[in-house]
A and B are shown apart, each in its own frame.
Chain A
Amino acid sequence: MEIKVGTVGGSSPIGRQSDDTGLESLQFCEEIQGLMTIPAENASSFTALLELPATQALELLHSPDSATAAVVNDDSVHHCIKDVPKPYFSAFNCNLTFPTNSGLIERVTKLSVLAKEHSPETTSSVPLNSSVNLEKVKNEPTTDTDSNPNPLQTLISDPTVENTNQRSAKRKEREKKGRGSTKKSKNESNEDAEKLPYVHVRARRGQATDSHSLAERARREKINARMKLLQELVPGCNKISGTALVLDEIINHVQSLQRQVEFLSMRLAAVNPRVDFNIESILATENEPILESNFPTMVSPLMWPEIPVNGTRQQYQPQWHFDGSVNHQGWARDEHNHHNFSPPENSLLSYDSSANSASLHSNQLKMEL
C-alpha cells in the first residue's frame, strides 16, 4: 500500500519540477547525450559532470566499473542508466526545496530533534552521502532490470521525452527503495542515514556547508530546542527572547528553589524541638488522606512567586508566633527574602527578581562584567 502511495505522490511533483526547471532538464539531456557518446571510462568528463571533488568521483566511478567490467561496450545504454543517478543525486543535493520529500523532511526533523543518538551521523554528512550514493549505484542493476524496462526503450527514442520519463522512473525506484526498505533489512540503516543528515542540517543560501559547520549548526539547533523546553518550564519566561536573558531566568528560578529548600529545612528544624520530627504521629493520623488530597492542590502554591509581597511584610512579621498556619505563605516568602538580603552577589541573582526586572538584572550583570 505504501508503495502505491509513494508512486502516486511521486508522479505529481514530477510535472511540477519539470515545469519549474526546464532549463535544468535541458542541461540534463545534454549530459545524458554526452554520456551516451562518451565511453564511461573517461574519468575527466565524469568529474566535470558530477561537479564533485575528483577523489569522490573516482570512488564513485570505481565500483560500477569493477562491478560491470564484463559488460563494457554493447551495454552502453545500460551503463548510462546506471550512471544517471549520480549527477541526479548531486543536483538533488544542491536543490534544497525538493517537492517529494517535504513531508519526510518535517517528520524526520521532528524525530531528530528529539532523538539524541543521531548526532554522529549528522556530523559526517558529506562523506556519508557519497557512501550511500555508492551503495545505491551498486544496487542499481538488480532493481532496474526487474522493475522498469521502460528507460531502455525510451532511451533510443526522443531524448527530451526520455529525460522526464527516466526521471520519473528513477524517482519511483528511489521511492520504492525508500518505502520498501523494511523489506530489505540490509538497506534499512543506510536509507535512514541518508535521510537524516541531509534533512536535518540544511544549509541555506550563503551558509557554510563543510561538515564542521554543519555539525555546529545541528548542535546549536539542539540547544535551542532544549532552551525552548526550559523556557516553558520556568514561569514568566515565555516572553523573553535571547539566550542570555532566558538563562538568567533559569538561574533565578533554580536559585530560588534551592533557597526555598534551605529555608524550609531551617523552618522545619526550628519548628520541632526534636529531630525525630514526630513523623509517626503525623503519618498515622493524617498522612494518607493528606497525601492523596493535598498534592494536587499543592500545585497552586507554584503561583505564589508572582504575588507582590513588599507591602505585606510588616503585616505578617508580627504574626510569627500567633498564627503561623493561616498566613504561612506570605510569611514564608517574607522570611525567605530576609534571609537572602545579606550577600551582594546573591542579591544580584536573587529570588525576588521577577520576569519584568530581567532587563535590569542583565544590565547589572553587564556592569559586573
Chain B
Amino acid sequence: MGMTTKKRKSQSSAKSFLICGDEELVQEYGALFSQSEADVYIWHNRKPQLPKRKNFIYTRTLSRVPKKIIAAFELSNLSYERKIGNIIKIENHCAKESLIISSSVTQTVTALTAHLQYPHRIIGLGAFPSLLQNDLVELCRGPFTQNDALKTVGDIFFDFKKEVSLVDDRVGMVMPRILCCLINEATFALQEEVASTEGIDTAMKLGTNYPQGPVEWGEKIGFDHVLSIMDALYFDTGEERYRPSPLLRKLAAGADFASRFLP
C-alpha cells in the first residue's frame, strides 16, 4: 500500500496553488508553502498569520485566482457545509485539469466526489492540525481519482521533503483516527477523575514514550478538531467506542480558552 515518491519535474505550466479551509490548517499548510517559489493564493475570510512572503496572495474571492492552477488545497474539517461550498466553488472556478486536494478526515473522498463534475482530479488528504510538523502525509483516492493526479500530489509533497502513504478512503484515515481516540479516552479519564491533566500527560509520556501528552496535544490541535473526527467516526460506525466524551464536547465548545477550564 506504500507509495514512494520519485523526483519528477511538474508537467504543468501552471505554477500556482490555492489554499483555503480551517484557519489552523491554512496556517500550517501556508507555512509549508512558504518554502515554495510558486504563487500561493490564500482564499480566506480572516487573514491567517503567516510568514511574510512575496509569493503569497491573499484574497477573499476566487475571481482573483487563475483558472489554471496546479492544485487547490481545500482544508476544511470542521464544517461540512463550508467544505462542500468550497469544493463546488473551486470546481466551478478552476479548469478541470487543476487538482483538488481535499482534507478527507471527516468526510470520505467518495462523499465529496458526489458533488463534483470532474471527479478524476480529487485526492483525499489527511490534513489534521499538528501532523504537518512530521515527515509523512496520508493520501487517499476516490472512486474516479486518476493515477496521474495522485502522482502529482506525491511530487508536491516530495518537494517539501514529505513522504506519503496511500490509505483507504475512510473517515479518520489512520493517524487522526488513532490520535483522536487516544485524546478522547484521556478526556473520559479526566472526567472520571482518574488523574489530573498533568498526571495523564506525564504518565503517557513517561510510561509509553508518547511524543506529547494526550491532553496537551489535544489543546495544541484544538479540541474542536478532535471532536470533529470523533463525531465523524461515531456517525460513520454508530459504535460506542467512538462516542465523544461530554468533557471533549465541552472543551471543543470552548476550544480557544480550554486551558481555563481543563480539570
Chains A and B bind each other: no
Chain B residues within 8 Å of A, Cβ to Cβ: none
